[in-house]
Amino acid sequence: MTKKTVAGSVDSVMAQGDEPLSNRSSNAYFGDILERRLSRRGVLKGGLATVIAGLMATRLPLTQALAANAGAGSPTMGFNPVGISAADNVVVPEGYRVQSFIPWGTPITGDMPAFSLEASGEQQAHQVGSHHDGMHFFALNGSSTDGLLVLNHEYVEPRFLHAAASGLALDRNGFPQHDDGSRDADQVIKEMNAHGVSVVRVRANEQGEWEVVQDALNRRITAQTPMQLSGPVAGTEHLITQYSPEGLMTRGTLNNCAHGVTPWNTYLAAEENWAGYFANTDTDIDRRQARYGIETRDTGRYQWHRADQQSDQFSRFDASSRGASPAEDFRNEPHAFGWMVEIDPMNPDSVPVKRTHLGRFAHEGVIFAPAVEGQPVVAYSGDDSRFEYIYKFVSRRPFDAATADGSLLDEGTLYVARFNDDGSGEWLALAPGQNGLTPENGFADLADILVNTRSAADHVGATRMDRPEWGAVDPQTGDVYFTLTNNTRRAEGDEHPANPRANNSFGHIIRWQEEGTHAGERFAWDLFVLAGDQDDSRDLAGNALVEDNIFASPDGLWIDADRRVWIQTDISESEMNTGIYEVFGNNQMLVANPETGEIKRFLTGPVGQEITGVVTTPDQRTMFVNVQHPGATTTEDAFAEGRFTSHWPEGGSAIPRSATLVITREDGGIIGA
Ligand code: FEO
Ligand code: CA
Ligand code: CA
Ligand code: CA
């Protein structure tokens, strides 16, 4: 067990857990927003109602044929809500069963190395990763009892990952290091291999219990897996490295938060807080890194480059200019991150592809609009940092189910959202020559715009949001929902109707309807719910939330086939169960009716975790939900004494492990109904 803690570098990207940095850019447009003066009371009591009324007047019919989804069931919610909880367990409604499944370290490939705290870096590459997040169930042959569970592993908790390692001090971020500041190579490899994505074949046995199947489709994708880049940035100067002088390849994916599922049934993993993995000691760092939080200090959170400077599997995380040219070092390595990564789970030999036309930012995830034959493919994605933006990609080529594949994502238009005060909104194209994105204004071409997506969005005057997280699309109405988790840096006077609270501690959910089709350039928006406690919240009907449904920091979001809106919370571990957050207890999952706005609490998780990632089998009778970072509330002192705030899921004195929940009903019914 590691014991002492030494002061280390301050992590500028993620001060706590995975809390991201802010948009610190200045832009003339921001001044306009500062002009707006909406009192908190006005927003909660009157102003918002006015916005909603205005919206009803301007709401335009989505003419896109959603008739194919007319068979969607009704979003009934026939369970009794659960109370808030601060206990170290998972609570589901009466009549429901819950089983923990595939915790970190579960063997899935190779010679199936059993979980052990002593597992090597190489063994970790054959086991389920850490910090489960976005997830999808790919049914095999339409089955609801046999399929591939594909899930992201966002990051690692070094204290637990290396709990068996002894003798090394922990740096400020909890990572073991040698006295000279170098890192142990095998520990770094273990961290790299605990990141990425797991593809696991899972099957329900005759007793209805889910088991891992040792299968050729099982796969680990990690921070070391070779990956291709495609789209407008591929093959450009931005991506030239010693590893790929042509700028076409990189290794690994990092900080995979949420995900997306394409209309052609592949999986997309988002790269969210990737900037914290890189160091750069150059005196000048341009916007391709600076706008994403990489600073001219050796401040990376993980310090992977300090494992073995002679090996480029580690040294590539130091983006300083060390060689004579970009082809002789890794100054461009950070430009290969911040993308959406396409993975074909049905082909274990496929090379993952980073799709650069979907933009480069702290991608929380991506959500596709229902694909319509002959119409463009449309995907939405949020940039989860304070004051960042919501984006939409529209393909150039139309969807054709018979031939659709990832190349549809390589040509099209990336847009960013502007939410107007009156409940209308517009999509601003991030394309050469449009909205001022010209060489004269510093945007040379499409590749330059995409590698600098945030700067381009600043330039066109997008609306700065309160940390956009997951999105979801109502399969019947086409309404698009996005969670805005919180933003305590929004100052008084900086409120905007779409982000109506200063010091937004509790977050909210926004939704909109596109004008005409999902590819449209205008939309009408409203606020679905302002999260919070009984005194500072507002549901769709205009009422405050109550004991059965108070929540804060909405993050995960998913709409099931019957249109139930599943909401998952991520109150930061540094604040959960303390101060103004105490009333919310442990992080939880709720479900909402999109028509009435009724919300009920469905599940509470163990201590120190966030609930994130949710999907059901096609028959909706088994639900998978992820529990990430239980025990993260363990203080340095308590850790040093071997006292953890959570021992979930094993209990006893076990170290806590991220894991998946399998939820079923005793009567075999539809989950949530
Ligand atoms: Fe990884 Fe924005 O949560
Ligand atoms: Ca988190
Ligand atoms: Ca998240
Ligand atoms: Ca979050």
Report the candidate in 570, 391, 382, 339 with the shortest Cα–Cα distance to residue 471.
382
Task: State how far the Cα of 29 lies from the Cα of 455, in Å rounded to an integer.
Answer: 13
Confidence of residue 29 (pLDDT cuts 50, 70, 90): very low
Tokens of 47: 């102003």
Task: State how far the Cα of 376 lies from the Cα of 381, in Å rounded to an integer.
Answer: 16
Whether residue 376 is predicted with pLDDT greater than 50 in this model: the reply is yes
Q: Identify which has the larger pLDDT, 156 or 42.
A: 156
Instruction: Please provide the average confidence, as pLDDT, over all residues in the chain.
Output: 91
pLDDT in tens, 140-149: 999 999 999 9
Confidence of residue 45 (pLDDT cuts 50, 70, 90): very low
- Ligand nearest the Cα atom of residue 256: 1
Task: State how far the Cα of 422 lies from the Cα of 443, in Å rounded to an integer.
Answer: 31
The pLDDT of residue 18 is 61
The pLDDT of residue 23 is 74
The pLDDT of residue 240 is 98
Write the single-letter amino acid at 579: G
Distance from the CA of 325 to the center of ligand 2, in angstroms? 37
Among 174-178, 197-201, 619-623, which is the least confidently predicted range?
174-178
Query: Which ligand 1 atom sits closest to the C-alpha of 258?
Result: 1
Whether residue 40 is predicted with pLDDT greater than 60 in this model: the reply is no
The pLDDT of residue 67 is 45
pLDDT in tens, 604-656: 999 999 999 999 999 999 999 999 999 999 999 999 899 999 999 999 999 99
Q: Enter the DSSP assignment of 310.
A: T
Whether residue 56 is predicted with pLDDT greater than 50 in this model: the reply is no
pLDDT in tens, 96-110: 999 999 999 999 999
Instruction: Assess contact for 109 and 609: CB atoms under 8 A.
Output: no
Q: How does strand 226-230 pair with strand 353-355? A: parallel
Nearest CA to ligand 1 atom 1: 257
Confidence of residue 672 (pLDDT cuts 50, 70, 90): very high
pLDDT in tens, 217-258: 999 999 999 999 999 999 999 999 999 999 999 999 999 999
Is the bond preceding residue 439 a cis peptide, omega within 30 degrees?
no
Query: Which ligand 1 atom sits closest to the C-alpha of 133?
Result: 1
Whether residue 278 is predicted with pLDDT greater than 70 in this model: the reply is yes
First to last CA, the chain: 46
If phi > 0 it is left, if psi is from -120 to 50 it is alpha, else beta; for residue 5 that is beta
What residue ranges line ligand 1, CB within 6 angstroms?
18, 154, 257, 272, 364, 384, 469, 555
Whether residue 284 is predicted with pLDDT greater than 90 in this model: the reply is yes
Q: Enter the DSSP assignment of 157.
A: -
pLDDT in tens, 394-403: 999 999 999 9
Whether residue 347 is predicted with pLDDT greater than 90 in this model: the reply is yes
- φ, ψ of residue 61 to 5 degrees: the values are -70, 135
Confidence of residue 28 (pLDDT cuts 50, 70, 90): very low
Location of structure tokens 């309807």: 513
- What residues does the ion ligand 3 have nearby, CB within 5 Å? 257, 555
The pLDDT of residue 62 is 56
Task: State how far the Cα of 137 lies from the Cα of 150, in Å rounded to an integer.
Answer: 6
Whether residue 602 is predicted with pLDDT greater than 70 in this model: the reply is yes
Distance from the CA of 483 to the center of ligand 4, in angstroms? 10
Whether residue 24 is predicted with pLDDT greater than 70 in this model: the reply is no
